[in-house]
Structure 1
Amino acid sequence: MFLKNAWYVACTPDEIEGRPLGRKICNESMVFFRGADGAVTALEDFCPHRGAPLSLGFMRDGQLVCGYHGLTMGVEGKCVSMPGQRVGGFPALRRFPAVERYGFVWVWPGDPAQADPAKIHHLEWAENPEWAYGGGLYHIACDYRLMIDNLMDLTHETYVHASSIGQAEIEEAAPETKLEGETVVTRRFMEGITPPPFWAAALRGNGLADNVPCDRWQICRFSAPSHVMIEVGVAHAGNGGYHADARHKASSVVVDFITPETDTSIWYFWGMARNFKPHDTELTATIREGQGKIFAEDLEMLEAQQRNLLAHSTRNLLKLNIDSGGVQSRKMLDRLIAAEQQAQAASQASGAGQPSAVAS
C-alpha cells in the first residue's frame, strides 16, 4: 500500500535527455520525456495502437514516436500523427502531473486535480550555493516500508556497515523518537567517540584532525509519502557537538527518496548534501563513491529480508525499542493511506466521478 496523491521522485534530468524513459511508479507504468519547450511530460507507457511500451520509442521534434509502428504522441497525451492513418479519433492517454525541481523530476500518480507543486518538500541544500550534493540511484527488490524501517533505525550500521560508518557506540546510545507535526524524528547522540572510517575521511576532507575524540549525531526525519532526510556528522569533542561551529565539525544531510515501483520493489534515490567545501568536486566524488558502497550493503540485506518475509508471510515479527522510528512512520502512512482511500470511496459513492484521464 502506498499513497497515490503525493509527489514522488521519478528520475533525474539526465535520464531523459534526448530520449524517453520508462519507469513503473506505484504500480503505474509511465513514460517520461521532454516536449519541444523542454518541460517534462509523463504519460502512461502504453501505445493505444498495439499496446507496445512507448518508452521503447524515440523523440522527434519534441514528440514521442512509438518504436513499433511510428504512432506519434504529443505532450497532452493525444496522438498527433501516424503514417497513412487519420488519428483524430484516437483516445488520449492518461497524463500524470510531472514537475522538474531541485535537480529531480517529480511525479504525482494520483488525482491530477490535487497535484499542487507547492506540496513538494522544500530542499534548501538544492538551491543554496553553500551546499554540494552527490548521489545516485539503486533499484531494490523490497517493500518501500522496509527501506523506511532501515533508515529510521540506524542501529544496523554497527553490523551491516561495520567497515565504514558502523561502531559499537551506536547501539550503546539509546535513540529518542518524537512526532513533530507531520514528521517522525528519531535522534541519537554519541559523545567522545572515535570517528569511524567514513567520518574520519570526512574530517580530513574538511581540514580537521581525525585522530581526536569526537561527538557524533544522527537525526532521522521521515515525511510522507516516503522521504527520509538524516542529519549526520561529527565534531571535535568539547565544541558543542551538533551545535558546534562549522570550524570544528563535518556535517551533512543524507538524502533518501524512496519511490515505490511495485509492492515489493523500489527506486531508491540516495545522496549526501554537505555544507563544507561545497566547491571541492573531488571531495564530492569521493563521498559519493563511499556512500554508494554503503548503500549497496543495505541493498543486499533488504532484498534478502524481503525474500524471507515472502517465504514466511504468516510469521509475526518482534518490535523492539530501537524500532520506534519505523513503527511511528508506518502508523503515519497507514493513517494517511486510510484517509485517502476513504475520501476516494466517498467521492465514488456520491457520483462525483473519476479523475480526468488527461491532466489540465
Structure 2
Amino acid sequence: MVFYRGADGEVAALEDFCPHRGAPLSLGFVREGMLVCGYHGLTMGCTGHAHSMPGQRVHNFPPIRAFPVIERYGFIWVWPGDADQADPAKLHPLPWAESEAWAYGGGLFHIACDYRLMIDNLMDLTHETYVHASSIGQREIDEAPVKTWVEGEEVVTSRMMASVHAPPFWRMALRCAGLPEEELVDRWQICRFSLPSHVMIEVGVALQGMGGYEANASVKASSIVVDFITPETEHSHWYFWGMARQFAVDDPAVTDSIREGQHRIFSEDLLMLEQQQANLLRHPERKLLKLNIDAGGVRSRMIIDRAIAAEAGKA
C-alpha cells in the first residue's frame, strides 16, 4: 500500500502499483493533492483512478485498488478486506487517546518474525525476568500465578504481585509520579488481546497495601502498554508500540524518558523474536511445547485461526 494526503488533507491509501508499468507509487511524490508516479509521471487520484500524464490519454486506464482508511487516535487505520464491509464503528475504542487525563508516547519497529510470535510474547510476560532483567524483570514474576480467561472475542491474562520491590523502570515511574521509589509496592500486569492483532497491557505499581490495581491514582503509577501489530509477510510485521499513562501527564520530559526506556526494552524483544523466527525456519519439523504460562498466546491464536477460517469460508 501507499499512503498520502490529498488536497483536502485527508489520508488516502492505494495499492502500491502504478497501472502504467507496475512501478511502486510509493517511490513517487505528491503534487497539488495528487500522487505522481516517480517513473513516468502518471498522476493518480485518491480513488485509484488515473488522472493525467504528460502527453498521454490515461482516463480509460483501469483503476487500482483504493482502501477504506480513517485517521483516529493519532494513528492511521486501513481496512484491507471487502470495502463494503468497512465500518469505522468496528475500530477498537481507545478512550485514553481522547482524554487530557492521559499522556502518550511511542515508536515503531519493523520485526522479521511472524506477527503471532509477537502476540505470544506479549500475552506471556514471564520472559520479562530473563529478557528484560535490567529494566522491568524480577523473580516475583515467575512466582506469581497467571490467570487466563476469555471475554467475548478478547483473551485476558493477569498476574498480581504483592509486596515486591519495584524494578528499575517502575522506580523511575514512581519518581515521576512523586512517590517514594524504595518502598514495597503491589504490582500488576493485565494483558488483553483483541482481533485482528492488538494487545493492550494494563501495568503498574501501587504503594504496598493501598489497594493494588484498584488503588487511588495518588498512590500509584499505572499505564497501558499499547501494542498494534500489523502483519506484513509470513515472517515479518510492523510493530507500533507505546505507553499511555495517567501520571505526570503534562511533563514531556517524562514522555521522552519512558519512550527511551520502552525503546530499549522492546529492542531486546526484537532481538529474541527475530532469532526465534530464524531458529523455527531452520527446524520446521520441531513441535513447540506448551505450558500453562502459554495459555494466553494459545487462546489468542485460536481466535485468530477461527477468524481466518470464517473469512475464508465467506470467500
Same fold (TM over 0.5): yes
Within 5 Å, which residues of 2 pair with 1:12-31?
30-31=1-2
Within 5 Å, which residues of 2 pair with 1:230-245?
230-245=201-216
**Which residue, out of 194, 197, 220, partners 1:249?**
220
For residue 277 of structure 1, report the CA deviation from its aligned partner.
Answer: 1.6
Q: Counterpart in 2 of 1:333?
A: 304
CA distance in 2, matches of 1:79, 1:88: 6
For residue 88 of structure 1, report the CA deviation from its aligned partner.
Answer: 1.6
CA distance in 1, matches of 2:17, 2:299: 38
**Which residue, out of 112, 123, 132, partners 2:83?**
112
> Is residue 270 of structure 1 aligned with residue 241 of structure 2?
yes
Question: How high is the sequence identity, in percent, across the aligned residues?
Answer: 70
**Which residue, out of 50, 54, 59, partners 1:83?**
54
- Aligned residue type for 2:40: H
**Which residue, out of 139, 142, 146, partners 1:168?**
139
> Is residue 52 of structure 1 aligned with residue 10 of structure 2?
no
For residue 314 of structure 1, report the CA deviation from its aligned partner.
Answer: 1.3
Secondary structure of 1:231's aligned partner: strand
Within 5 Å, which residues of 2 pair with 1:74-153?
74-153=45-124
CA distance in 1, matches of 2:29, 2:253: 35
Which runs of at least 4 in structure 1 moved beyond 2 Å after TM superposition? none
Q: Counterpart in 2 of 1:17?
A: none
Secondary structure of 1:239's aligned partner: coil
Q: Counterpart in 1 of 2:269?
A: 298
> Is residue 193 of structure 1 aligned with residue 133 of structure 2?
no
CA distance in 2, matches of 1:215, 1:222: 24
Q: Counterpart in 1 of 2:314?
A: 343
- Aligned residue type for 1:239: M
Structure 2: runs of 5 or more not aligned: none
Q: Counterpart in 1 of 2:280?
A: 309
Secondary structure of 2:186's aligned partner: strand
**Which residue, out of 184, 202, 216, partners 1:213?**
184
The TM-score with structure 1 as length reference comes to 0.87
Q: Once superposed, what is the RMSD of the aligned Cα atoms?
A: 0.5
Secondary structure of 1:329's aligned partner: helix
The TM-score with structure 2 as length reference comes to 0.99
> What are the Cα deviations for residues 135-160 of structure 1, in whole angstroms up to 9, with x where unaligned?
00000000000000000000000000
CA distance in 1, matches of 2:233, 2:47: 26
CA distance in 2, matches of 1:44, 1:70: 17
CA distance in 1, matches of 2:182, 2:219: 13
- Aligned residue type for 1:173: A
Q: Counterpart in 1 of 2:7?
A: 36
Q: Counterpart in 2 of 1:62?
A: 33
CA distance in 2, matches of 1:31, 1:339: 28
CA distance in 1, matches of 2:310, 2:214: 39
> What are the Cα deviations for residues 145-199 of structure 1, in whole angstroms up to 9, with x where unaligned?
0000000000000000000000000010011000011100000000000000000
Q: Counterpart in 2 of 1:356?
A: none
Q: Counterpart in 2 of 1:258?
A: 229
Number of aligned residue pairs: 315
Structure 1: runs of 5 or more not aligned: 1-29, 345-360
CA distance in 2, matches of 1:133, 1:154: 22
CA distance in 2, matches of 1:88, 1:296: 47
- Aligned residue type for 1:269: F
